[in-house]
Amino acid sequence: MSPPDLNLLLTLDAVLAEGSVVRAAQRLRLSPSAMSRALARLREATGDPLLVRAGRGLVPTPRALALRERVSLLVQEAEAVLRPAEMLRLDQLTRTFTVRSREGFVENFGAALVARAAREAPRVRLCFVAKPDKESTPLRDGSVDLDTGVVGKLTGPEVRTRVLFQDRFVGVVRHGHALSRGTITAAQYAAGQHISVSRRGLDKGPVDDAMAPLGLQREIVTIVGGFAAALALARASELVASVPERQTGMLRDGMVTFPLPFPVPAFSVSLLWHPRFDADQAHRWLRGLVLGTCAI
């Protein structure tokens, strides 16, 4: 059996990414006839038509959709292997890095990160985007360079992680609230009206799990998708917000924060990235920058 023609991976990556034989040919600087021949070889090698006619255009088959991400990663890794390594010069590095995080991260660490990046690599730009879920797809497809958050079941098994800091839940109320003075008992806390923070709209979480053995239950009167919204509501009402302490430090300015009157397990907030960037010198610098800033 003859070895496979690995050049076909480049062709397959272009065809699957473009969804068009013509555009794939332009991307690879091939003639339409050469691309058609390459596609025929791909169909023979994979045993699948890959792209089929649908009206005036072409649509990928299920096999093509299943292969798209794997082929893209293979091509990127091959390009990285064949790219000569150069000594990183931060003063000449021109690059935009995208960091995905929940609200509170930028407010607490963003200014220090931007300032340190500007001192060390003045041409680097940091782009912070919101984190609506825990899916690892943005890391896999390269739309995000770094992710921050709690490692969970939805975190891809190949994703690299490093703990940034430990955090814990605290209670937060406005000044003048009944829970803003003196020692608070578990029963007093439970008797308040509470805000549940859940991106999926759930009314139960780690705080509720910790209260259950005490025979206590919070009265959840509203559910919001983020910490900032919870704190805004608590700031202007009699509601009680329970949020991560370190992640929301700046967001809690001007409010009363108190430790929860029962044990709730602490949790780790981690830095996440895709393994294809392990050896990338600029990416390693960025990881060190975030780790160093969050450790302060």
| CATH code of residue 75 | 1.10.10.10
Mean pLDDT of 191-218: 95
Instruction: Please indicate, yes or no, if residue 1 is contained in any of the structural domains.
Output: no
What's the domain range around 11?
7-82
Instruction: Please indicate, yes or no, if residue 66 is contained in any of the structural domains.
Output: yes
- Given a cut of 60, whether residue 59 has pLDDT beyond it is yes
Structure-block tokens of residue 178: 């009944």
Same domain, 62 and 127: no
Same domain, 139 and 174: no
Write the pLDDT tens digit of every residue in 259-288: 999 999 999 999 999 999 998 999 999 999
- Given a cut of 60, whether residue 119 has pLDDT beyond it is yes
Same domain, 193 and 158: no
Label the pairing between strands 193-197 and 124-130.
unpaired
Same domain, 245 and 289: no
Instruction: Please indicate, yes or no, if residue 230 is contained in any of the structural domains.
Output: yes
Same domain, 256 and 289: no
Same domain, 129 and 19: no
Same domain, 158 and 175: no
- Given a cut of 70, whether residue 7 has pLDDT beyond it is yes
Tell me the pLDDT band of 296, cut-offs 50, 70 and 90. low
Residue 82 vs residue 85, higher pLDDT? 82
- Given a cut of 90, whether residue 52 has pLDDT beyond it is no
Structure-block tokens of residue 73: 């990663």
- Given a cut of 60, whether residue 44 has pLDDT beyond it is yes
For the chain, how many structural domains are there in total?
3
Task: Give the per-residue pLDDT at 222.
Answer: 97
Instruction: Please indicate, yes or no, if residue 281 is contained in any of the structural domains.
Output: yes
Query: What CA–CA distances, in Å, run from 22 to 11, 60, 64, 126?
Result: 12, 15, 17, 35
Distance CA 249, CA 83 (A): 43
Q: Work out the number of other CB atoms within 10 angstroms of the CB of residue 281.
A: 15
Instruction: Please indicate, yes or no, if residue 199 is contained in any of the structural domains.
Output: yes
What mean pLDDT, rounded, does the chain reach? Answer: 91
Report the CATH number at residue 218. 3.40.190.10
Chosen domain end from 63, 82, 101: 82
Residue 223 has phi, psi (to 5 degrees) of -125, 130
Mean pLDDT of 282-296: 93
Q: Would you say the pTM of this structure is higher than 0.95?
A: no
- Given a cut of 90, whether residue 78 has pLDDT beyond it is no
Same domain, 258 and 213: yes
Most confident region among 17-21, 22-26, 251-255 by mean pLDDT: 251-255
What's the number of CA atoms in the CB half-sphere (13 Å) around residue 176? 5
Task: Give the per-residue pLDDT at 84.
Answer: 63
Same domain, 260 and 273: no
Same domain, 163 and 273: yes
Distance CA 129, CA 20 (A): 31
Same domain, 184 and 134: no
Q: Where are the alpha helices (DSSP H) in 127-258?
A: 137-141, 186-191, 206-211, 227-235
Task: Give the per-residue pLDDT at 75.
Answer: 84
Residue 159 vs residue 68, higher pLDDT? 159
Instruction: Please indicate, yes or no, if residue 2 is contained in any of the structural domains.
Output: no
Same domain, 190 and 275: no
Distance CA 272, CA 140 (A): 11
